[in-house]
Copies of this chain bind each other. A is one copy, B any other.
Amino acid sequence: MKVQNPNFETRVRDSFARQAFMDKLGVRLVDVSVGSVEMELDYNPDLCQQHGYFHGGVIGTMADNAGGYAAFTLMNAEDSILTVEYKINLMAPGNGDKLVAIGRVKKPGRTLTICEVDVWIEKDGQQKLCATALCTLMTMKGHSDEQSKK
Chain A residues with CB under 8 Å of chain B are 15, 18-22, 24-25, 45-53, 55-58, 60-62, 64-65, 68, 82-92, 95, 106-107, 109, 111-112, 114, 116, 129, 132-134, 136, 138, 145, 147-149
Contact = CB atoms under 8 A, between A and B. Distances in A.
A123 to B, nearest CB: 12
Contacts of A57: 21, 25, 57-58, 60-62, 64-65
Given A83-B90, A89-B114, A129-B107, A50 B19 contact: yes
Q: Looking at chain A's contact residues, is the secondary structure mostly helix, strand, loop, or mixed?
A: mixed
A62 B60 CA distance: 11
Contact of A20 (B18, B47, B82): B47
A93 to B, nearest CB: 8
A97 to B, nearest CB: 14
A55 B24 CA distance: 11
A115 to B, nearest CB: 10
B85 A136 contact: yes
Given A84-B89, A149-B52, A45 B60 contact: no
A136 B64 contact: no
Nearest to A93: B82
Contacts of A136: 84-85, 89, 136
